[in-house]
Structure 1
Amino acid sequence: MTGLPKLLEEIDSLAAIQRLQFSEKEKAERLLRRWFARHMQLYPESVTLTPKAVSLNSFNGFYRLNGEEYFFKTHVEEQGILAEYYHADLLHQAGYNIVKPLKALHEGGRQMVIYPVVRWPVIFDLVHAIEAGSAEDDGFETVIAAEKRECARLLSIYDQTMMRSPAEEHARAPIHQLFWHRLAGERFKSFYQGKVVTLPGQGTSGYVQGIPFEELLQYRWTVYNMYGTVVTGEWKRPTLGGLIERARIVLDPAREMATVIGHGDAHFGNVFLEDRKDFLYFDPAFAGRHSPLLDIVKPFFHNVFATWMYFPEKVAQDLQISVDIRGSDIYVEHNYELTMIRKAIFEAKLHDLYAPLKEMLGTKNDLSADWSEVVWLAMMCCPLLTMNLLDVKRLPPALCWLGLAQAIEMGNRSLNEG
């Protein structure tokens, strides 16, 4: 009987439902109907999960109740230490175009948010359609124009809501769950501590070569792209361990900062495109008052660099990557390249948000000496800690090494920019 409480906990776990949505969807939907009844006193006639590539740490879908359809979403993080606060009203008052939730539950580590059904397309899907060649003829221009328009709106909101926050207040911001708490807490340990990183290009039988993760932290990296150009390591050759230790200092939430009202996790999976021109946000799980340097990170990285996370099988088919270890040095060469739409999003983010934000902070005398480290070491956390790079059920070794190379590339930018 000792296993019964654990079994009951498992079938009542939102994390279990998140995992099952991809492999046993009907079972996951049955468990979710039971969960709705037990925890929210909702008795829907039907529950439909919509597993998506973007749902790395979440799930969403629709339920029908009394003939009406509703949309639900939850964010799942088993090692999370902060409660998730859904500050839709705060964002709305600050000037964000946001879908307001109809109902929310936050208790005992459980969180679920119910929304009205929105029929506008999610920008994540629009960008993927552009990459697949199935979008409307003006899809590319429509997305980039909307991106630039939203960058201008964000700068206006940042300007209007910016103020200094003391260390104690800033430390309470939910956004730190995405970066420092993952890095300094149980998530990093559970993903990598005591684990072995398998070298790419090996079969499933016989002796498999690998490097203990703790040893990997000490190597100095040089990364080349498909054209033989040095992406990382031409000027400074960081170790992953050194970057992580620096990030634990720089990203520590308990520091006085210039802060703004921000969504915190505004990647394209959390944004609709309304009327083909305006961003419409939802799922403000990490919204609140926090540094604008952190606010721009998740949409910057995930909308530009993270295609391999969402479509690992497709990327792995075309990926060529080699890892050469010489003494205490690692040399990585790969052919992963951004698509045209991702490059255009990068340019828009860089010129229409990142550079003007730096100038705004400088004008207000709020540009800290380590501002670049804050941005790019938080960026490093995205490939390293959004998902477990060593989880072979989700990622082959080649993509693990691509993720590690991107983490090094992001972290290295913090050393070369100031």
Structure 2
Amino acid sequence: MSIVPSRTAEIRRLAGARDGAAEAMLVDLLRSLFSIEATGLAINHDQYSLNSLNGFFESADGSFFFKFHQEDGEEAMSGEYYRADILARAGLPVDQPVLMSVLPGEQILVYRRRTDPRFSDVLRALDLQPDAGGTARAVAAETGLTEAVLAVYRKTLHPVTPQQAAAEPVHRLFHDRLVDHPEGRYPGGRLAGFYVGQHFAFEGASLGWEAFSTARFRVNGVLYESSVGELFDAAVQRLKPENLADAGGVTAHGDAHNANVWYQEKEGRASLAFFDPAFAGEHVPTLLAEIKTTFHNILAHPLWLYDPALAAERYSAKAAYTDGLLDVTTDWAPSAVRLGLLQVKAERLWRPLLAELDARGMLAVDWRTVIRLGLFLCPTLVMNLRAGATTHNPVSSLIGFSVAVMAGSEPIAGDDVVSRFLDTIDPARA
């Protein structure tokens, strides 16, 4: 089977130059796909577009917003992008595109332009300038959406075969980033490209891959059981797509980070609606369905993942490396609004969902490990966290890897925000 060159990949590559070439190619793409003449096309160069591109254009029919997601080597991957009707049929609030292409290498959605902010922008403002009223409205909006999502998960939860689980495109965000395609060689993909054989520079410590990947982390006095290398090794086995059928499947968005969520405020109340369902599916492995939202909407903030330069101004992070131990001290911590969202996720979604799985005899024995490994892969493979590789600096890089290990590994002694979260959602502790 021949692989069609990806026009969206080329557009993403050209967009970084900001010389108009990407815009011209996008105009041609829209013309060839939809027979429309786009004018005034502008690409948004925002911090959330790590693996996607979005922007605005005008046509004879009005003002529009476009977005596409593009994975490295996606033409050789399995699973269908942009099954946009799935979420609407399930009863979830979702903005429907007016135009859509799911052709390999040419996937793109076009929406009527909205003036509503994305939820990510609302929350960033609250991170930077806390406001009790704004926080309460944001948490209430999250609660409403979370309860709607849980209702869909309960309604659609069902046993799935390994083949059904493996066919879902959500794996492109996890396992597919660990291996080379189509042969499945490990370490490969982003893991090999970002980290293997590379250098890791922090304030107070400088390590090669061998030392870094085998180092034990101690973060603010809490020592962690697993190294970065051990977590990647565990993830490539346990998160194999066919291995995730054991907890069934649900209808889910799969990638509902808050840059894919509209925030609408009316008469003092706020509501949320999804868009860009690139990874939506009807057999999404249950334990993966909320991983991206849990990490990227909460643990990735404030600032360190998406605004590393500002994070370095606001926070400190230092390391000392001795005899295989990377000792980290940092003053970074989740903000009040992020902790509020985490409480909603724990109490209104994860705890009742795991209880439902347990009651149906579908809860994987190692559910805690599966969740941790999924959380670990979110920051480490969404972008290159090494200082100097892209946008990260020694401070944000160290915070990032520390949060990743905190998410992925059990502490040997003591606790942290992730271990307390997992204890809260444990059905055995109900």
1:336 aligns to 2:332 (yes or no) = yes
Query: Displacement, 1:325?
Result: 0.9
Deviations 1:119-150 (A, max 9, x none): 33211111112223387x73211110111122
Distance in 2, Cα, partners of 1:184 & 1:361: 30
Distance in 1, Cα, partners of 2:22 & 2:135: 36
Distance in 2, Cα, partners of 1:15 & 1:172: 22
Which residue, 95, 98, 104 being the options, matches 1:102?
98
Mapping of residues 165-180 of structure 1, within 5 Å:
165-180=160-175
Distance in 1, Cα, partners of 2:45 & 2:225: 40
Structure 1, 309-318 or 261-270: larger mean CA deviation = 309-318
Which sections of structure 1, spanning at least 5 residues, go unmatched? Answer: 1-8, 202-208
Query: Displacement, 1:217?
Result: 1.4
The DSSP-based 3-state class of the residue aligned with 1:309 is: coil
Mapping of residues 177-326 of structure 1, within 5 Å:
177-185=172-180, 186-200=189-203, 210-224=206-220, 229-230=221-222, 233=223, 236-255=224-243, 256-257=245-246, 258-274=248-264, 275=266, 276-288=269-281, 289-306=283-300, 307-326=303-322
Instruction: State percent identity of aligned pairs.
Output: 28
Cα distance change, pair 414–265 in 1 and its aligned pair in 2 (3 A): farther
Q: Is the 8 A contact 1:103 1:115 kept in 2?
A: yes
State the one-letter code of the partner of 2:121.
D
Distance in 1, Cα, partners of 2:337 & 2:276: 24
Q: Is the 8 A contact 2:8 2:105 kept in 1?
A: no
1:377 aligns to 2:373 (yes or no) = yes
Q: Is the 8 A contact 2:7 2:105 kept in 1?
A: no
1:30 aligns to 2:24 (yes or no) = yes
Query: Displacement, 1:26?
Result: 4.2
Distance in 2, Cα, partners of 1:87 & 1:16: 23
Structure 1, 273-282 or 380-389: larger mean CA deviation = 273-282
Q: Is the 8 A contact 1:222 1:237 kept in 2?
A: no
* TM, length-normalised to structure 2: 0.85
Structure 1, 17-26 or 289-298: larger mean CA deviation = 17-26
The DSSP-based 3-state class of the residue aligned with 1:33 is: helix
Cα distance change, pair 13–395 in 1 and its aligned pair in 2 (3 A): farther
Distance in 2, Cα, partners of 1:76 & 1:200: 34
Which residue, 387, 396, 399 being the options, matches 2:396?
399
Query: Displacement, 1:48?
Result: 1.8
Deviations 1:19-44 (A, max 9, x none): 55466264432332233334544321
The DSSP-based 3-state class of the residue aligned with 1:389 is: coil
Which sections of structure 2, spanning at least 5 residues, go unmatched? Answer: 181-188, 413-418
Cα distance change, pair 110–214 in 1 and its aligned pair in 2 (3 A): farther
2:81 maps to 85
Q: Is the 8 A contact 2:202 2:394 kept in 1?
A: yes
Query: Displacement, 1:363?
Result: 1.1
Aligned length: 392
State the one-letter code of the partner of 2:275.
F
1:57 maps to 51
Q: Is the 8 A contact 1:162 1:259 kept in 2?
A: yes
The DSSP-based 3-state class of the residue aligned with 2:93 is: coil
Distance in 1, Cα, partners of 2:85 & 2:319: 49
Distance in 2, Cα, partners of 1:154 & 1:83: 22
Query: Displacement, 1:50?
Result: 2.1
Instruction: Tell me how large the CA RMSD over aligned residues is.
Output: 2.3
